[in-house]
Each structure stands twice: as structure tokens, then as C-alpha cells.
Amino acid sequence: MRHHTPKRSRTANRAVAALAGLALGAGALITINMYASADESGAGNATKRASTGQTQVFAAGAATISCPDVGAKLTSVPSQARAQVDRELALLDRQVAEAYQRLQDSARAIQQDGNFANNAIMGPLKDKRVATIDRIAIAIGRTGTRPQGLESLAACTLQASGSQQGTGQNGTDRQSANGPVAADFVDITTVRPNVRSPRKARGASRGVFTTQCGVNANKLHNSDNVIVAPGVGNGAHHTHDYVGNQDNNAFTSNEEFAAAGTSCRNQGDRSTYYWPVLRLQDGTQEFDAGKLGGGAEGNTGRILTASRVTLNFVGSPRGKVVAMPRFLRIITGDAKAFTNGTANANASWSCTGFENRQLTDKYPVCPKGSSLVRTSRFQSCWDGRDVDSANHRSHVAFADPRTGGCPAGFKAIPQLVQRLVYDVDAPSLGDNGASSPFYAVDGFPEQMHKPITDHGDFINVFDEKLMNRMVQCINTGRKCR
């Protein structure tokens, strides 16, 4: 167990962004084109427009870097190339994180020279990405069909973030420019009920299987991600909570997962369940305050341990479920949804007593007596063949939200519903978190701690006997622990 001595201090005032007079709505994205065409009305005017755009973004608030997600475009990677491709994809993430840090550190230079961001940050970033993407294509092409068109994914853009640095009570700049801000929060009592469930057919599998694995009270943390960046330290660029399997890091093999200890009450469940930590922005210096994945990449404040973690596996509203294959990997949500868009976003934020109202792009402000809730519903359809896929998504799918049916060729499997409850005081929006600090989910530094980036990861390491018990429980409509 790691022990940390918290440093008691308060996060200073936080300012709500005003982006050059533009009001940003919930989830709104504004992209500044760093590569404006000179054909529009002359090279000089194009350069001037791009420079002016950069200067306005930094003068009014903060910007982040938006890059096309190369990994999401890889639908087929030969097994012989998988290790190198994973390393190169992790390198792309590191390049963006480093460029974003330079962007934050260069706000004054950019205000003084409108071309600075393009010449010193965005241009070099594109050059690095071109070389890395080319290595990915070569690696795949050695034993498979070389992917075409990846080079078009090299260029990145500046995106207005809706965040702005605040000034503390003593006139010192205390707030990280990467958020959160008051505009990221909403009073849950003002949200209309929005949860609908598909109607269950006569043959639905109505049972519930619950596994009890604790709340990570022993503080097992790291910033690896063995699913998306195996063999790469700090592949997540943010810190995870882990429950279940106690040997989860970037280098853990399936054999090591199978032999490891577990925090789950039933020792037949050695699965690993992990998610980005939630932090209170109160100035606490955590164990990772100066480390990559932690404070060095903008993930700061006191790590909050959930007061309750519920891990339920539920059935299909259309029919029976089949057993999940051992070592099946599932990622739900998108850690880069702020810049990637909402196609894979699956964040659900709410409050106890109000869970018929779920938020995706806002953090809820809960009334007195109500606790914060994060809910992740994992994909419940499997292709029947693979435990993983090149983009870590194609081998599983969500059921149709209206009918509950799986796509053609997919089989219904037990659906993991992960519910995390936090007893945290509501933030004070009127004074921008000065009297009661904001909370925020950890994330890639350029994702600005936006709530829409919440996500969860799961690797199935149930033993066969217990998995079969789960399936029987769910298919016969029972509630089992």
C-alpha cells in the first residue's frame, strides 16, 4: 500500500473562458486551421488569417491540439507487426502530449508572434507524425497489405478549448490552463430525465451476476494501459484506479494475469477492471505530482477513492447470452473524445437519486445528501472469434439502443455495468471553485479534463467454471453474487 501525506491547500479562482467573444455551448468545438490555403486570396492574407486566429485563441483563453486518431483507422494489423505498431501509436500520443506542453508554455510567445505556434510547435509535430505514421505503414506492409492514406492523418490543428488560466487570491497564476472550468459543470436538478431502456422480449436473459472486487483501497495506481499500449510505460498519460487483478501494468502477459492475485471476493474472478482516477483540484501533492501521467502532464490534485464500486453483469433484452472468451479485452468510451468527437464517447455522469438523468459532456453538481456517480456500460456483443482487434473496438459492439439486438454476426455476451460512487462536496461555481474546489477526471493532457473523455477498461480473467455460472445465472433470470 502506498501512503501519501496530503498537502492542505485550496485551488485558486478559476475563470470561465470567453473565446474571443464566442460563447461555447456544451460539447461545442472550434477548430483553427493551421494550414490555410494560400489560394483563397493570396499567400500573405492566408498567413495573416492563420496568425490572427492563433493570437485570438491565446488572447481570449486557451487552446488544445487536435490530431486525427491513427489507431482508430487501423482495422487490420498482422500479429507479427502488432508490437511495433502499438509502440508507434504510443509514440504518437507522446508527441501530442509533448507538443501540448510546449503550447501551454508558449502562450506569451504566441501572442507576440502569430506564426510561433505553427513554426515552433505545429509544424514540427506534423513532421514527427509523418515519420511515425510511415513506420506504421511499413511495419504492416511487411507481412500484410500496406494501409493507404494514413499520411493524410499527420497534420494536427489548434482547437479552442473553452478553458482559461485563472488568477489566485494573491495575484499568482495557480490554475493549470487545461481545466476544468465552471462551464464544465451543471446542476443535476436542472437536467431532464433522459434514460430509456429497450423493451425486453419474452426470451430475454434477465439475471444479474455481481462480482465484488473492492474500491482500490490499497491504492494500486499507474499510468500504463496494457490494452492500447502494451509494453509501453505511461501509455495512458493519466493515472488509473485498478480493482480485481493485482498485476496490471504495461508489461503483464495473459499468463501473468491468470496467475496473479485478485481483490475480488471470489478468487475465480481475476479479471482486471480499471478507469481514470477522479481528482479533487485542491492543491494536494499526490505521489505522482511530479511524474509523467500525473502532475507533469496536468493531472493534479487529490486522488479520490470511490466509496462504492458495483460491478454487475447483465443479460440481453432479446435473448440468451454466451460466455465471454478468456482474456477478452473491452474498452468503453473514448479517452480522446474532446478532440476525436463523440462517435465512441460513452461517458455517463449523474448523482444518487437522479440516475434517470445522465450527462455525457458535463460534470454534475449534486444537491446536499446526494453523491456523484460515474456509470460505464460496456459493449455486450462479441464477434465470436477475437479477444481483441487492431483498433481495440471492432471485435465487440453495442447492442441496438432501441431493440437491444446485436449486429449481424455478433453474439450477445454478459454486459458489464460498472458504477462508481464518490462522496465529494459539490463545487462552488459562483466563485470558480475557490471555496469548494472542482473535481475532474484524469486524461491525456490535451483533452482538458473534459467529462466526455471518461472511459473504462476490462480484461476478462474469470475461470471457466465461474464464467459458466455467470451465464447460467443471467440466462435463468436469477440474481447471483
Region 11-37: mean pLDDT is 30
pLDDT of residue 162: 66
Query: Which residues make Cβ contacts (< 8 Å) with residue 6, sequence separation at least 6?
Result: 284, 285, 302
The model's pLDDT over 167-225, given as tens digits with 9 standing for 90+, comes to 333 222 333 467 899 999 999 999 999 998 888 999 999 999 999 999 999 999 999 99
Q: Is residue 298 assigned to a domain?
A: yes
Q: Is residue 18 assigned to a domain?
A: no
pLDDT of residue 44: 41
Query: Which residues make Cβ contacts (< 8 Å) with residue 127, sequence separation at least 6?
Result: none
Q: Which three cell numbers stand for residue 63?
A: 487552446
The single-letter code of the amino acid at 97 is: A
> Same domain for 430 and 352?
yes
* Gap between the Cα atoms of 178 and 449, Å rounded: 7
Contact between 357 and 450 under an 8 Å Cβ cutoff? The reply is: no
Q: Is residue 84 assigned to a domain?
A: yes
Which of 60-74, 126-140, 148-162 has the lowest average pLDDT? Answer: 60-74
Residue whose C-alpha is closest to residue 94's, from 348, 293, 351: 293
Residue scoring higher pLDDT (167 or 353): 353
Total domains, the chain: 2
Report the phi/psi class of residue 404: left, alpha or beta, with left for phi > 0 and alpha for psi in -120 to 50: left
* Total residues found in the chain within this entry: 481
pLDDT of residue 182: 94
Contact between 286 and 303 under an 8 Å Cβ cutoff? The reply is: yes
Task: Please report, for residues 116, 209, 211, 380, 480, the alpha-carbon distance to residue 477 in angstroms, rounded to integers and kept in the order given.
Answer: 63, 10, 16, 17, 10
The model's pLDDT over 281-298, given as tens digits with 9 standing for 90+, comes to 999 999 999 999 999 999
The model's pLDDT over 437-449, given as tens digits with 9 standing for 90+, comes to 999 999 999 999 9
pLDDT of residue 464: 97
Region 408-422: mean pLDDT is 98
Q: Which three cell numbers stand for residue 168?
A: 489566485
What percentage of the chain exceeds 90 in pLDDT? 79
> Same domain for 45 and 114?
yes
> Same domain for 146 and 249?
no
The model's pLDDT over 460-478, given as tens digits with 9 standing for 90+, comes to 999 999 999 999 999 999 9
> Same domain for 84 and 191?
no
Residue 17 has pLDDT above 60, yes or no: no
Nearest 5°: phi and psi at 137?
Answer: -65, -40
The model's confidence at residue 60, banded by pLDDT at 50, 70 and 90, is very low
User: Other C-beta atoms within 10 Å of 119: how many?
Assistant: 10
Which of 109, 125, 160 is the last residue before a domain boundary? 160
> Same domain for 327 and 405?
yes
Residue 59 has pLDDT above 80, yes or no: no
Q: Is residue 8 assigned to a domain?
A: no
Region 410-414: mean pLDDT is 98
pLDDT of residue 164: 52
* Gap between the Cα atoms of 266 and 33, Å rounded: 53
Residue whose C-alpha is closest to residue 455's, from 241, 213, 295: 241
Q: Which three cell numbers stand for residue 34?
A: 493551421
DSSP letter string, 163-202: ------TTS---S-TT---GGGEEEGGGSPP----PPPPT
* Gap between the Cα atoms of 368 and 351, Å rounded: 11
Q: Is residue 174 assigned to a domain?
A: no
Residue 32 has pLDDT above 60, yes or no: no
Nearest 5°: phi and psi at 57?
Answer: -60, -45
pLDDT of residue 168: 33
Nearest 5°: phi and psi at 344?
Answer: -110, 10
> Same domain for 95 and 232?
no
What single DSSP character describes residue 240? E
Largest CA distance in the chain: 71
> Same domain for 149 and 187?
no
Q: Is residue 176 assigned to a domain?
A: no
Q: Is residue 10 assigned to a domain?
A: no
The model's confidence at residue 372, banded by pLDDT at 50, 70 and 90, is very high
What 3-state DSSP class applies to 181? coil
What percentage of the chain exceeds 70 in pLDDT? 84
Look up cell 508572434; give the residue: 113
Mean pLDDT of the chain, nearest integer: 87
Question: Helix 82-105 crosses helix 123-143 at what angle (to 10 degrees)?
Answer: 180
* Gap between the Cα atoms of 24 and 183, Å rounded: 9
Q: Which domain holds residue 208?
A: 182-480
* Gap between the Cα atoms of 53 and 447, Å rounded: 20
Look up cell 474500491; give the residue: 215
> Same domain for 195 and 110?
no
* Gap between the Cα atoms of 319 and 399, Å rounded: 12
Residue scoring higher pLDDT (190 or 52): 190
pLDDT of residue 107: 83
